Structure 1
Amino acid sequence: MPYGYTGNILHVDLSFKKHWIEHLPENFYRTYWGGKALALYYMLKEMKPHTDPLSPDNLLIFAPSVITGTPAPAIPRYTVCAKSPLTGAEGEAEAGGWWGPELKKASFDAIIIKGSSKTPVYLWIKDGKVEIKDAAHLWGKDTGETQKIIKNELADDKIRIAQIGPAGENLVRFANIVNELKHFNGRNGLGAVMGSKKLKAIAVRGTKPIELYNKERVSQITKEITKRVMDNPLSRGLRELGTPAVVRGFYEAGCLPSYNWTTGYFKEGENLTAETYNKTILKGTKGCYACPIRCKRVVEINEPELKVDPAYGGPEYETIASLGSLCGISDLKYIAKANELLKTPLMDKSLGLNIILDE
């Protein structure tokens, strides 16, 4: 087996509550490296044309890259692919965080899910072992409640959980998938596909290191790349200000989407900048697996009538526009609260808001 892979693809048929492991040869990986390439191969091979995106015949595929889970810096991402209920075409969405690396360390290069359970379930994957567990008690619960219950139920706080919220359960066509409450597979309504399969969550725990051809050389390259990344002023700016750093540029250029797209000028734009963010609502920062940048914002607000839980992270640049200037709101505290309220049911904050405003 090529280094960087496990050689194992997990197949799950929820209609029949069964699963099996496919062992792939080296020449497959030399053609389809992982991630989107691997996912699209299986979609084209195993899914019939004209498949209804919300039918049991749609495939839902989770696939990390070849580098995910190694010490390589700033590359912890994985792709989710399915036929999109929003567009009717191939839909994909990436996410960072820790879930993708955990899946690789649990001995799988991808999960391919088909069928639909009659009752809510979740997958429990640990070091190559797989269980399909009842999730009736989780259905209808928000993301924070679900994560807490699963971790308590499985008695392991190091479990990484990808899940849907009530939006996905109710087949909202712009529902998202999230891992660790703050890393999103957004766009294309993949949360609705997961909901159509009655799959509430995928909990993963992996303790097996990924085999590397030359650990010493990988370690050396990792140090070199990490230094180059952190010597770059863009990386340092992202570490200090996060993605909200771009808000100032849009605001000063007069192209910050405002008042339901009627203008690009927002008079109170200074209140939405990353500098103001850092001074007012920022509690700290967090990073994804093996990433030195740590761009994720963590917000906590403890006002009596306005509490924001730091477990949900904080608003990113697009959220600041969609929940802020587009709505004529210039107070980051209220934007942060709205951000949390949309994260718990897991609706796409940009598309969902545009639909609401158009209505």
Structure 2
Amino acid sequence: MPYGYTGNILHVDLSSKKNWIEHPPENFYRTYWGGKALALYYMLKEMKPHTDPLSPDNLLIFAPSVITGTPAPAIPRYTVCAKSPLTGAQGEAEAGGWWGPELKKAGFDAIIIKGSSPTPVYLYIKDGKIEIKNAAHLWGKDTGETQRIIKNELADDKIRIAQIGPAGENLVRFANIVNELKHFNGRNGLGAVMGSKKLKAIAVRGTKPIELYNKERVSQITKEITKRVMDNPLSRDLRELGTPAVVRGFYEAGCLPSYNWTTGYFKEGENLTAETYNKTILKGTKGCFACPIRCKRVVEVDEPKLKVDPAYGGPEYETIAALGSLCGISDLKYIAKANELCNKYTMDTISTGMVIAFAMQCYKEGLLTKKDTGGIELTFGNKEVVLKMI
């Protein structure tokens, strides 16, 4: 078996509640490596053309890369693949965080899920052992509550959980999958696929080391790459400012997506810059597994009428644009709250902002009226309305 792999691929049939472990030959790994390539191999091999994305026949595949879980810096990612209910085509989305490395340490290179459970369930994987557990009591709960309950049930705070919220359960076509409340497999509606299978979460705990061919050489290269990464000015900017660093460039160039894409000029753009972000809502930063950059924003708002929990991270550039300037909103505190709500429900922040901005444009043009909106003044710049719409 090539180093960097466990040699185990977990197959789960939620319809029959059965699971089995495949042990592919070395040539398989050398050909498909992991991640998207591995996932697409199984999709092309086992799925029929024209499969309904929300049917039991759709595969839902979680696949880290060969490097995921090793000391290699800034590569903790894993891919989720399925036929997308949003596009009808192959959908794939990556996420960072700690879940991917944990799956490898738990003894698996990938999980291939098919079928659909008649009742809500979640998977519990610990060091090669698999359980399909009842999740009826979790169905309908947001991500924070679900994570708290699962960790209490399993009596292990170190468990890593990938899950869906109410958006995935209700088959919203742009529902995401989230791990650790703030790392998302987004944009393709893969959370809806998970919801169609009545799979609420996958809880993973692993303590097994990943075998390396030459630990000393890996350690040496890791130190060299880490130094090069952190000596790069872009890495330092990313640590200090995160992805919101790009807001200023777009704003000053007059190409910040604004008012449902009708203009690139946003008068209050300074209020959305990373510098303003750091002064007003930033509480700290977090890093993914083995990543020295720590670009993940952690925000907090603690006001009498507006509170944002730092457990849900903070808005990235795309969220600032989609739930901010695109909707005519320039208040980062409300954008942070909108981001938190989307994270609780596992709604894609970009698609959510696009839908709301489009509805605001329709309201402005008279295509939607108060009768259609239930009395809501769906006007650009109405920050309270954005929260209501979510």
Identity percentage over the alignment? 94
Cα offsets for 1:199-242 (capped at 9, x unmatched): 00000000001000000000000000000000000000000000
8 A Cα contact 2:338 2:387, kept in partner: no
Aligned residues: 349
TM-score (norm 2): 0.87
| Distance (whole Å) between structure 2 residues aligned to residue 287 and residue 350 of structure 1 | 31
Cα offsets for 1:329-350 (capped at 9, x unmatched): 111111101111xxxxxxx999
Cα offsets for 1:4-26 (capped at 9, x unmatched): 00000000000000100001111
The residue number in structure 2 matching 1:324 is 324
Q: Which has the larger radius of gyration?
A: 2
| Distance (whole Å) between structure 2 residues aligned to residue 234 and residue 242 of structure 1 | 10
SS in 2 for 1:147: helix
8 A Cα contact 1:245 1:273, kept in partner: yes
8 A Cα contact 1:318 1:350, kept in partner: no
The structure-2 alpha-carbon separation of the partners of 1:350 and 1:315, relative to structure 1 and needing over 3 Å to count, comes to farther
The structure-2 alpha-carbon separation of the partners of 1:237 and 1:94, relative to structure 1 and needing over 3 Å to count, comes to same
| Distance (whole Å) between structure 2 residues aligned to residue 350 and residue 93 of structure 1 | 31
Shift of 1:353: 11
* Regions of 4+ moved over 4 Å: 348-356
The structure-2 alpha-carbon separation of the partners of 1:353 and 1:25, relative to structure 1 and needing over 3 Å to count, comes to farther
SS in 1 for 2:6: coil
Structure 1 unaligned regions, length at least 5? 341-347
8 A Cα contact 2:282 2:297, kept in partner: yes
SS in 1 for 2:11: strand
8 A Cα contact 1:319 1:349, kept in partner: no
The structure-2 alpha-carbon separation of the partners of 1:101 and 1:301, relative to structure 1 and needing over 3 Å to count, comes to same
Shift of 1:355: 11
Shift of 1:113: 0.1
The structure-2 alpha-carbon separation of the partners of 1:66 and 1:354, relative to structure 1 and needing over 3 Å to count, comes to farther
| Distance (whole Å) between structure 1 residues aligned to residue 104 and residue 383 of structure 2 | 29
Shift of 1:327: 1.1
Cα offsets for 1:111-140 (capped at 9, x unmatched): 000000000000000000000000000000
Shift of 1:261: 1.1
Cα offsets for 1:260-305 (capped at 9, x unmatched): 1111001110010000000110000000000000000000111111
| Distance (whole Å) between structure 1 residues aligned to residue 316 and residue 334 of structure 2 | 14
Shift of 1:351: 17
Cα offsets for 1:43-96 (capped at 9, x unmatched): 000111111100000000000000000000000000000001111110000000
Shift of 1:354: 15
